[in-house]
Chains A and B, each alone.
Chain A
Amino acid sequence: MDTLSSIDELSFPVALRQEVIADSTSDHALLEATRTGDEDAFAELVSRYRNQITSYIYRMTNDYDGAVDLAQETFVRLYRAVDRYQSNYAFSTYIYRIATNLAISELRKRKRRRLVSLTGFFQAHDGRESCELDPADERPLQDSELVAIERRTAVQRAISTLPEKYRAPLILRDVEGRSYEEIARILQTSEGTVKSRISRARDFLREKMRAYL
């Protein structure tokens, strides 16, 4: 039988130690700490998800300032409802659900207010075909970077014209890379519905992006 010569030999296996460390810094642990009033834990959660949430809402709304505002509101609501959080699902599902609801609510507000956008003047009123304000640029392309920028702009614009029920699942799947299961939880619907809506959204997008395919 081996005898311990020093206290350093009394150590846990490496795998177990890593698991403990990972658990103490998991989203759930941070949220539990936030629940007990640990402001630093909440700040850590904000720093982890601020870019993801801002980017996601920006893809949904196509408005950076509004996206930043809604992302902040997402964290404020998360903080207020921290006691109601149930750790059945991943924390990211929870926060993305809040962000999605806020973004969809904002889109519906815009629709009610009938915000007049510069691009809106050039959209067809029957909703069948949109002709965005996109004057032809006769100048020769400088380099491939400009082409990529133009392509991304076109994609973002095409996404922003999708109906909201198709927009959210498409962004979550093809931009954020979420699984169907997680998207279904975020949107609180079935996986079959999510798959159907994503397929339909891609059909819409293909029609709008035909020139780039």
Chain B
Amino acid sequence: MVNCKNVCREIEEANHGEALTASTMEHLAGCGHCHRFYDERRKLRQLVASLEPVAAPADFDMRVRSRLAGSQSGARAGSLFANFTLGWPTLALASLVLVIGVTLALKVLNSPGSNNIAVQDESKSAVQPPKQEPPISVSDELVTNAGSRAGEHEASRNIQRPKQPKKRSQLSSVASLRNGRRLATQEFSSSATPVVKKEEALASIESSPVFQIEASPQPLRLSLDYSSGVSRTISVPSLSFGSERVLTGNGSLVKSSSKGSW
């Protein structure tokens, strides 16, 4: 059935310049509203269709080619970082990695046994000449043992004892934290060890039961320089050797101690 709604729909959907059906044309002849609608739509479509097509510029193809070449070279250059975008996820991931790294670093620094920090001896510049220490008395037992064992050993055997380091700068000092306490140890392995020969020792023992050990009265100051920029100075007072350790023949340690010694 032809009514105004159907006629308007047909007018609306018809192609430009397309003839309408006979029934619609008949309706248009008798319906002023639909006829006005038809005229307006026809003129409007004529107006819109009057827009002339716009031509692309003459160098359009060349521009497309250069653009393609540019995009391909750009894609090759950026292929390494194609998946990298500096956004919130990236920043969050970087922050997480940083926190984990700092935590691990702190844990490693605070773990016992693994915190070896080179220690610089500040007193190396003020090397004092060896000063005579008060004589250290050696107990009779030690002397007796030393004397009795002396003939049993070969003549070339030496009693090695750290007399005094030649240069403190040559010493490598190590500080470590064990069981929560920081210990400073001084390693003499890299320096030449002073040697007291057996004959000299025996001679000194024979002449007097007391022999002297040269030691510096200066307190040993160790400066611990942490890698984190924190430094600490440890002052080790001069030691009084009130006892000596001597290896007996069976390898057991014979200790002779006096008051106030280790």
Q: Which residues of A contact B64 (CB under 8 A)?
A: 46, 72, 75-76
Residue in contact with A55 in the complex, picked from B15, B49, B53, CB distance below 8 Å: B53
Q: Are B47 and A209 in contact (CB under 8 A)?
A: yes
Q: Which residues of B contact A54 (CB under 8 A)?
A: 54-56, 60
Residue in contact with A177 in the complex, picked from B16, B43, B52, B63, CB distance below 8 Å: B16
Q: Is B20 an interface residue (CB 8 A)?
A: no
Q: Is the interface of B mostly helix, strand, loop or mixed?
A: helix
Q: Which residue of B lies closest to A199 (CB)?
A: B12
Shortest CB-to-CB span from A9 to chain B, Å, is: 43
Given A43-B61, A75-B64, A76-B68, A175 contacting B44 (CB threshold 8 A): no
Interface size class of A (residues with CB under 8 A): 35 or more
Q: Which residues of B contact A122 (CB under 8 A)?
A: none
CA A180 – CA B45 in complex, angstroms?
16
Q: Is A123 an interface residue (CB 8 A)?
A: no
* Number of residues on chain B facing chain A (CB within 8 A): 27
Q: Which residues of B contact A79 (CB under 8 A)?
A: 68
Binary interface profile of A, 53-66, with partner B (CB < 8 Å = 1, else 0)? Answer: 11100110000100
Q: Which residue of B lies closest to A78 (CB)?
A: B64
Q: Which residue of B lies closest to A67 (CB)?
A: B54
Q: Are B55 and A206 in contact (CB under 8 A)?
A: no
Q: Which residues of A contact B51 (CB under 8 A)?
A: 59, 152, 155-156, 175
CA A9 – CA B57 in complex, angstroms?
47
Q: Which residues of B contact A198 (CB under 8 A)?
A: 12
The interface of chain A, by Cβ under 8 A from chain B, is 43, 46-47, 50-55, 58-59, 64, 67-68, 71-73, 75-76, 79-80, 148, 151-152, 155-156, 159, 170, 174-175, 177, 180, 195, 198-199, 202, 205-206, 209, 212-213
6 new A-B pairs (CB below 8 Å) besides A52-B53, A75-B64, A175-B48? A46-B60, A51-B54, A151-B50, A170-B48, A174-B16, A202-B44
